[in-house]
Amino acid sequence: NLSDRLERSFKILKGEGRITEINIAETLKDVRRALLDADVNYKVAKSFTDTVKQKALGQNVINALKPKELMIKIVHDELTSLMGGQEAPLNLSGNPTVILMSGLQGSGKTTFSGKLAKKLKSSKGKRPLLVAADVYRPAAIEQLKVLGESIGVPVYTEDGNKDAVQIALNGIAEAKRNHQDLVIIDTAGRLAVDEEMMREIEAIKNAVKPQETLFVVDSMTGQDAVNTAREFNERLDFNGVVLTKLDGDTRGGAALSIRSVVEKPIKYIGTGEKLEDIQEFNPEGMASRILGMGDIVELAKRAQELYDQKEAERLQEKIKKNKFDFDDFLNQIHQIKKMGNIKELASMIPGVGKVIKDIDIDDSAFTSIEAMINSMTPYERHNPEVLNQSRRQRIAKGSGTSIQAVNKFVKQFEDTRKMMRAASNMKNPMKMMNQLK
Ligand code: GDP
Ligand code: MG
């Protein structure tokens, strides 16, 4: 399966240092093949591996991560974005909110209807009404009634009425009368895609205009799940997908394929037969699951955090001893630059964001500072207090700046140093940025 394949392909990556085109070529080929075998569309698989390659090659291996771990992290992040990147919550507007279930027989529509009613009742304080619009099998209506009873949610049924559209409309009217703010319509499915079923579900959709039309699919059906999703989407233009039977260690390659073929978000997953077995779909969690290596991805993240933390502690120690020098300063600048666009970063600081947007700061703000530090001798960098006028003159020349600029910077540096020692809390690089002004 997909997970095993990916796992094997990562095993090839060994050693330390830089990721090169050569040492990831095999891995990328394997990843691509594994995706194709899991029914991921050819173009999607290709652009997926291209992106991974680009991202991998651009990176120096950070101290704490080995190439293999870094690759896994990159693939993990790409899988996440392939599956939509973030959670796709239900649209719960409307009074009542109407949610229509669609999908083949046995996919888990009725079960999921019950699960969702229970969940939204307890977590959102909704007052749901379940509507039994599966009119062909008396057993189906009975099943929904039993479900409703077990979760304390009323079920709307009409004995003998075979008009699913009418029942759906009547159900909504009933909900309005009883001030129920959520209507979940369970419908009939067939064993395979079938014209009559499609026409019926289409008619229900057109009549009730639901906030959400959900396509429910059994994740264990593989390639079939993808084809069925495509057919339902063409007819229904549904809003989201529910993947059921993702229990235990079913690893959900279907999640990748479906998302890439129909371009609709997966909103929920069913993870068991019990009514509690429902989860909002989380692309990142699913990426870990497909990789079968949640622990390694976690590890990679923690390694990075640990590295940052150690660095912060080291600086803290230097600041306390007044040993913070130009090299540390330069390091911090690099650190800040690595975090991305400075303006963007600054705009995220609460309160300052709006003001800073109009001020002209960008990476180039640091260019002359970097040039000055680079023009210092190692001795000068470690001992800022030795910078007399003649040394400053030389630095100004070497860096292509002016003596005034050097004086200003050295003064700023001294001030910053003093302030930092006073604050003596360097965990936050934002602080440094504010002091650079
Ligand atoms: P429907 O025909 O689409 O309404 O499907 P049902 O809701 O009746 O479900 C068909 C079968 O799948 C039932 O036996 C359910 O208990 C089972 N089922 C539904 N969802 C899940 C799930 O997430 N995990 C497991 N293991 N079984 C499920
Ligand atoms: Mg059913």
Whose atoms come closest to the Cα of 242: which ligand?
1
Q: How far is the CA of 224 from the centre of ligand 1 (A)?
A: 17
- Mean pLDDT over each residue of the chain, to the nearest integer: 81
DSSP 275-287: TT-EEE--HHHHH
Q: Does residue 242 or residue 359 have the better pLDDT? A: 242
CB of 187 within 8 A of CB of 101?
A: yes
- What pTM did the predictor assign? 0.66
What is the pLDDT averaged over residues 387-414?
92
Query: How far lies 194's CA from each of 98, 108, 220, 231, 293, in Å?
Result: 24, 18, 21, 10, 40
Tell me which residue has its CA closest to atom 10 in ligand 1: 106
The rounded distance, in Å, linking the Cα atoms of 258 and 44 is 12
Instruction: Establish whether residue 106 lines the binding site of ligand 1, counting it when its CB lies within 6 angstroms of any ligand atom.
Output: yes
d(CA 200, CA 156): 19
What is the rounded distance in angstroms from the CA atom of residue 79 to the CA atom of residue 283? 8
Which residue's CA is the closest to the ligand 1 atom numbered 20? 108
Residue nearest to atom 12 of ligand 1 (CA): 108
Test site for ligand 1: of 273, 274, 275, 276, most ligand atoms within 8 A of the Cβ: 273
User: Of the segments 84-88, 223-227, 296-300, 310-314, which one has the largest average pLDDT value?
Assistant: 84-88
In ligand 1, the atom with minimum distance to the C-alpha of 277 is 23
pLDDT for 104 equals 95
Q: What does each C-alpha distance from 207 to 55, 164, 169, 185, 204 come to in angstroms?
A: 48, 11, 7, 12, 5
Q: What CA–CA distance (Å, rounded) separates 200 from 125?
A: 31
Please tell me the least confidently modeled range out of 22-26, 29-33, 248-252, 320-324.
Answer: 248-252
Across 139-143, average pLDDT:
92
The predicted model gives 33-50 an average pLDDT of: 76
Distance CA 255, CA 229 (A): 11
Sorted by where each starts, the structural domains of the chain and their CATH numbers stand as 2-85+293-297 (1.20.120.140), 97-281 (3.40.50.300), 322-435 (1.10.260.30)
Whether 136 lines ligand 1, by a CB cut-off of 6 Å, is no
Asked if residue 319 has pLDDT above 90, the reply is: no
Determine the pLDDT at residue 219: 85
Alpha-carbon span 112 to 270, nearest angstrom: 7
Judge if the beta carbon of residue 108 lies within 6 A of ligand 1. Answer: yes
For ligand 1, is residue 244 a contact (CB within 6 Å)?
yes
Which tens digits make up the pLDDT trace of 186-209?
999 888 888 999 999 999 999 999
Asked if residue 109 has its Cβ within 6 Å of ligand 1, the reply is: yes
Beta-bridge partners for 149: none
Please state the φ and ψ torsions of residue 218, each to the nearest 5 degrees: -75, 115
114 lines ligand 1 (CB under 6 A): no
